[in-house]
Amino acid sequence: MQNILSFLTILALFSCQPDTSIDQKVDDIIKQMTTAEKVGQMTQIDHRFLDDHEDITDYAIGSLLSGGGSHPKENTHKAWVDLYNGYQEKALASRLGIPLIYGIDAVHGHNNVKGATIYPHNIGLGATGNPEIVRSVSHATSSEVAATGINWTFAPCIATPQDYRWGRTYEGFSSDPKLVLDLGVAAVEGYQSSTKKNPRKVIACAKHFIGDGNTIYGTGINNLVDRGNTVLTKESLKKTLIPVYQAAIDAGVETVMASYNSWNGVKCHGSKELLTDILKVEMGFDGFVISDWAGIDEIPGDYKSDIVTSINAGMDMVMVSGEGEPYKKFMALLTEAIQEELIPMSRIDDAVSRILRVKFRAGLFDDPLMDYDYLSEIGSDENRQIGRDAVRQSVVVLKNESILPLSNSNGKVRWSKIVVAGRGADNLGMQCGGWTIDWQGGQGDITDGTTILEGLRENAPLGIEVVSDPLANSVKGDLAIVVIGEDPYTEFFGDRDSLNLNEEDLQVIENAKAQGMKVVVLLISGRPMNIADHFDNWDAFAAIWLPGSEGEGVADVLFGNYNPTGRLSFPWPVHAEEGTSASSMLYNLGAGLSYE
Ligand code: BGC
Ligand code: BGC
């Protein structure tokens, strides 16, 4: 009851009632600000690319971020707090002492932090179809984020991917905007609700506005999908994707990230129609718009014109990052453009007001620094339990020839020896996927957690022996569980023109079959793949997506401790490359089996 009450209070806090006292404070600050200080507020830098920490004070920088893989030298929990406080103190030492807002890609847990709970990527959460678990996962994530002092996560991604060749398919909950809307709202509410344990707020970011999941193959980076062109009439945009963002805004999302892609040939980063006319005016968004990483650089023209076009279009803060163009160049050119009246001061004041308003709403002016009091939140048993629950709800059983659940029921021994095989069986990095510790993720023991093999071992019912045999060619059991799948990738690194299964993986399945074992195939993947030519041979098959650090959730389903409820949130084509527009589907949206 108390939880519900505090949740309602928080909802009320976030429900966009214009707060006149905040508006007054913002106006007072704006009046005191120099142009240079306004420019500083609009600048966001990845801390790895700071020339000098004093620049935060000297240029009155508004925001820092940790992009994928951007962490303190030693990736310890305490080091994160020290990193955050160190930078925040520099900001507080500036003339006006405006606190930083610090952003991070906590897109499936606080995933840059070693030892944090890693939750399933959104595709797995989509398969749960359950807003309550999405809310819990997001809330637990923000409690881990807040424990390190960080106050802003670049999540949720509310894309509705259609072409599975896109390397970011897994960042979307579903191809169906209706489901994305429900889960997106739950995520925003979960992220932005503070707990009694740690009263600090984390701000969410709906991304990437708009059409990131609808780009046409061949128009993106490397002539593939990511960052390509989305062709949709304004009417169909309004019917499909806009309602998802509107719902996130109505749920109180404080920031929106512009998308790398183009809409009908125009880069979203430079589109006044999208960022101002639609998002701010028609949809009533009163938070601020952040660019994507060097996203303005992709607008045609030189860097200065990119700055002018994007700010005039309605960009409020630019994720310069500093990796490509130096941030001092960005600030100099923005200042120049203001002096030359290429950007009106009213636009600058609007941008800065929006940024300050969000900083006030986040409570940053009251409580900018962090102590070590909440570090035990990171990777806590309670948060891992939420992860395990999310995993078991995300597993989609698609084929079951009377094999599952793997229990010896009614005193009848069906399986005394289960062989566990495949590259994904004992590979935490692979089951976590991209955006884990490093931008592109990694292989093996990259953080703390339970692999699928460990989960099976620890939860096997009495009388069932679980044996590891990676290639399934040396131990004969009654049945083999073969864990196959994709190696980790992030963004355009995961764009593919073929979604065939890995040959080595298929060989392991063959090995198990050759020994006369029944085979359960578990697929770790960020999208539907080409299984049609192979799966006749499999006795049971489940899609487990990118489950994250809590592998026990998979064992819960296989051993029947949990009757599977996961359902496809993306239809599964015969030819996966054809995505949602495929003429023949192997499994439709919503497919998935439970046990009798
Ligand atoms: C991604 C965003 C991410 C940002 C910061 C970009 O490359 O598109 O989703 O939030 O980097 O890491
Ligand atoms: C960053 C990522 C970012 C990417 C964009 C990387 O160096 O760490 O967070 O999304 O660059 O290209």
Ligand 2 atom closest to Cα of residue 68: 9
Q: Which residues contact 326 (CB under 8 A, 6 or more apart)?
A: none
Name beta bridge partners: 485: 524
Q: What is residue 294's three-state secondary structure?
A: coil
Give one DSSP letter per residue of 490-555, joined into a string.
Answer: -GGGG--S--BPPHHHHHHHHHHHHTT-EEEEEEE-SS--B-TTTGGG-SEEEE-----SBTHHHH
User: CA 365, CA 211: separation in Å to the nearest integer?
Assistant: 35
- The residue assigned the tokens 């930078």 is 87
**Three-class SS string for 359-397?**
HHHCCCCCCCCCCCCCHHHCCCHHHHHHHHHHHHHHCEE
Asked if 413 and 463 count as a contact pair (C-beta separation under 8 A), the reply is yes
Cβ of residue 68 lying under 6 Å from some atom of ligand 2 = yes
pLDDT for 11: 46
Cβ of residue 295 lying under 6 Å from some atom of ligand 2 = no
Domain borders along the chain are 2-376, 395-587
pLDDT for 413: 74
Name beta bridge partners: 519: 480
- The residue assigned the tokens 């809409």 is 263
Cβ of residue 46 lying under 6 Å from some atom of ligand 1 = no
Best residue among 66, 168, 222, 323 to mutate for probing ligand 2's pocket (most ligand atoms within 8 Å of CB) is 323
The CATH number assigned to the domain with range 2-376 reads 3.20.20.300
Tell me the CA–centroid distance for residue 440 and ligand 2, in Å. Answer: 9
Token code pair at residue 564:
């599977």
Give 10-residue mean pLDDT values along the chain (596 residues). Answer: 44 56 97 98 98 98 98 97 98 98 98 98 99 97 96 98 98 98 98 81 97 98 98 97 98 98 98 98 98 98 98 99 98 98 98 98 95 96 98 98 87 87 98 98 98 97 95 97 98 98 98 97 99 97 99 97 98 98 98 96
The one-letter amino acid code at 230 reads T
CA dihedral 471, 475, 476, 481 (to 10 degrees): -40
pLDDT for 394: 99
pLDDT for 407: 85
Task: Indicate yes or no: pTM above 0.75.
Answer: yes
Active site (annotated) includes residue 89? no
From the list 292, 377, 539, 550, the catalytic residue is: 292
Name beta bridge partners: 585: 573
Give one DSSP letter per residue of 88-107, joined into a string.
Answer: HHHHHTSSS-PPPEEEE--S
Tell me the CA–centroid distance for residue 249 and ligand 1, in Å. Answer: 20
Cβ of residue 212 lying under 6 Å from some atom of ligand 1 = no
Cβ of residue 171 lying under 6 Å from some atom of ligand 1 = no
The CATH number assigned to the domain with range 395-587 reads 3.40.50.1700
Cβ of residue 564 lying under 6 Å from some atom of ligand 2 = no
User: CA 273, CA 271: separation in Å to the nearest integer?
Assistant: 5
pLDDT for 17: 55
Q: What is residue 307's three-state secondary structure?
A: helix
Active site (annotated) includes residue 497? no
pLDDT for 129: 98
Tell me the CA–centroid distance for residue 533 and ligand 1, in Å. Answer: 36
Residue in 434, 352, 359, 431 with CA at minimum distance from that of residue 388: 431
pLDDT for 18: 64
Q: Which residues contact 353 (CB under 8 A, 6 or more apart)?
A: 26, 27, 30
Same fold, 2-376 and 395-587: no
Residue in 418, 396, 439 with CA at minimum distance from that of residue 525: 396
Tell me the CA–centroid distance for residue 67 and ligand 2, in Å. Answer: 6
Tell me the CA–centroid distance for residue 519 and ligand 1, in Å. Answer: 39
Q: What is residue 244's three-state secondary structure?
A: helix
User: CA 35, CA 408: separation in Å to the nearest integer?
Assistant: 73
- From the CA of 292, which ligand is nearest? 1
pLDDT for 196: 66
Listed in order, strand segments (DSSP E) in 224-354 are: 229-230, 255-258, 262-263, 266-267, 288-290, 318-321
From the list 426, 491, 495, 550, the catalytic residue is: 491
